[in-house]
Amino acid sequence: MNLNKLMRLFDFNEAGGSNTRRDFFRNAGDLGIKASLAAIPAVILTALPKMVKAQSSTAIADVLNFALTLEYLEDEFYRTALDKSGLIPATDRNIFMQISKHETAHVAFLKSALGSSAVAKPDFDFTANGMFPTVFSDYNTFPCRLSIIRGYRRQGIQRSGGKSCK
Amino acid sequence: MKEEVIKKEKKPGESSQSTLRRRSFLKYSVATTAGVALILTGCKDDDDPGTNNNTTDTVDLGSGDPGILNYAYALEQLEAAFYISVVSHSAFTTTFTAAEQAILTDIRDHEITHREFLKAALADKAIKDLEVDFTSIDFSKRDAVLGAARTFEDLGVAAYNGAGNLLSDGNLLLVAGKIVSVEARHAAAIRDLINPKSTDFAGDTVVDANGLDGAKTPTEVLTAASAFVKTKITFNNLPNS
């Protein structure tokens, strides 16, 4: 899910003394990452602390909450997609169900680890401010647009004859 | 050494995509090699058995962070040697489809890069080249090759997961995380080749109810790996907590 790249982006942003959404996008050279960031409400992005080495328990909770926020994003993405009838072909469905199961487990695991410190799930916009209006209606938009599943995409979808996601 | 690593990765006739991917990985790994080497130099491990106790048939992984890196280096040597045997076998091009050949060749190149990266990072603390034994694997059989590949990749993932907490330097943990995620991609790809379009790519036998991959101790991993390594590996001085 490009956690490191995302973290570098956040770091760079703070170093530059700017924290606008536009700067995130300018610095995100990858369309998939742009889409991932766009799906997260601005208030979450700007509220994220600078994440360096976690030394205090607060810093550790901050990093885990960052991970939890990304897992919320992934979990809701796959659950929403699986709920749309006709979006995912039957032959691919068990793969997405397996991924979805893991994302749900990750959310539960992190929430359990954080206890009362866990952040609430934000509201997501998977169209990324209208950039991808067909994200949950066109199968070629759905798996191609979010970098969070890029690793899977290369292994599965391209090889099985799906459209290339450049 | 850095130049050598780069040269090894540039191969004629590669697709621009895979060249690019490899290049960006290398850009990262070459940059951190210097950092890791510095970190290792700074470690107080003068009493580290390291390579000093090595005999012809035995290597000792050493202690502290360098010991854990040697542990990883031993596994990457094993994986690289395996995929080199796979790709160089006379039946490779008839046993596997073009797409499968591309995947296996790509994995081979990653494992070579991991091996060389760790060797460069360890510098004079690196263990010697291990002597491998793949006589139990029939490289002319698709099932045998993919089955062994799955074993190696699953073992590699569990090994890194079980060694992370044994590292004392957070920067090394970051590097280990960047390697284990690649091993997990390999495991998923191989598992999908064995049982296409199934849930095996991240199956319930390797990913638990929390959505977490397994972890194995160095003892468990090296015991499993010993079937494929002639060189005796001792690791009594590795950190164990």
Nearest CB to A102; choose among B178, B189, B207: B207
For residue range B101-113, what is the model confidence (pLDDT) as tens digits?
999 999 999 999 9
The Cα-based distances of B12 to B4, B15, B17, B49, B218 in angstroms read 16, 9, 13, 41, 38
Residue-level pLDDT at B241: 81
CA B128 to CA B74: how far, in whole Å?
Answer: 9
Question: Average pLDDT in the B86-113 region?
Answer: 98
What 8-state DSSP symbol labels residue A49?
P
Mean pLDDT of chain B: 84
Residue-level pLDDT at A44: 54
CA B60 to CA B183: how far, in whole Å?
Answer: 24
B201 in contact with A at a CB cutoff of 8 Å?
A: yes
Residue-level pLDDT at A145: 53
B55 in contact with A at a CB cutoff of 8 Å?
A: no
Asked if this assembly's ipTM is beyond 0.85, the reply is: no
Opening angle at CA B178, ends B121 and A126, nearest 5 = 160
Residue-level pLDDT at B109: 98
A148 pLDDT more than 50: no
Is the CB of B192 less than 8 angstroms away from the CB of A155? yes
> What amino acid occupies position B211?
G
Opening angle at CA A67, ends A61 and A73, nearest 5 = 135
CA A103 to CA A82: how far, in whole Å?
Answer: 13
Nearest CB to B199; choose among A95, A105, A152: A95
Q: Which phi and psi angles does B137 have, rounded to 5°?
A: -105, 125
B217 pLDDT more than 90: yes
B205 in contact with A at a CB cutoff of 8 Å?
A: no
Run of H or E residues at B234: strand B232-234
User: pLDDT tier at A159 (50, 70, 90 boundaries)?
Assistant: very low
For residue range B9-23, what is the model confidence (pLDDT) as tens digits?
334 444 444 443 444
What 8-state DSSP symbol labels residue A84?
S
> What amino acid occupies position B224?
A
The alpha helices in B134-235, defined as continuous H runs, are 142-163, 170-194, 218-225
B211 in contact with A at a CB cutoff of 8 Å?
A: yes
CA B93 to CA A87: how far, in whole Å?
Answer: 37
For residue range A26-35, what is the model confidence (pLDDT) as tens digits?
444 455 555 5
* Residues recorded for chain B: 241
User: pLDDT tier at A110 (50, 70, 90 boundaries)?
Assistant: very high
Closest CA–CA distance from residue B22 to any residue of chain A (Å): 15
Find chain B residues with C-beta within 8 A of A92's C-beta. Answer: 197
Instruction: Look at the alpha carbons of B128, B120, B60, B51 in this order and tell me if their dihedral is positive or negative.
Output: positive
CA B113 to CA B5: how far, in whole Å?
Answer: 7
Place of tokens 């990653």: B110
Find chain B residues with C-beta within 8 A of A102's C-beta. Answer: 202, 207, 211
Return the structure tokens found at A143. 């798996």
Residue pair B60/B53 in contact (Cβ under 8 Å)? The answer is yes
For residue range A4-56, what is the model confidence (pLDDT) as tens digits?
433 443 333 333 333 443 444 444 445 555 556 566 665 555 444 444 444 68
Find chain A residues with C-beta within 8 A of B212's C-beta. Answer: 105, 109
CA B88 to CA B95: how far, in whole Å?
Answer: 12
Return the structure tokens found at A15. 């170093």
Close Cβ partners of B102 (under 8 Å, ≥ 6 residues apart): B18
Nearest CB to A102; choose among B174, B189, B202: B202
- Which one is predicted more confidently, A56 or B142? B142
Q: Which phi and psi angles does B115 have, rounded to 5°?
A: -60, -50
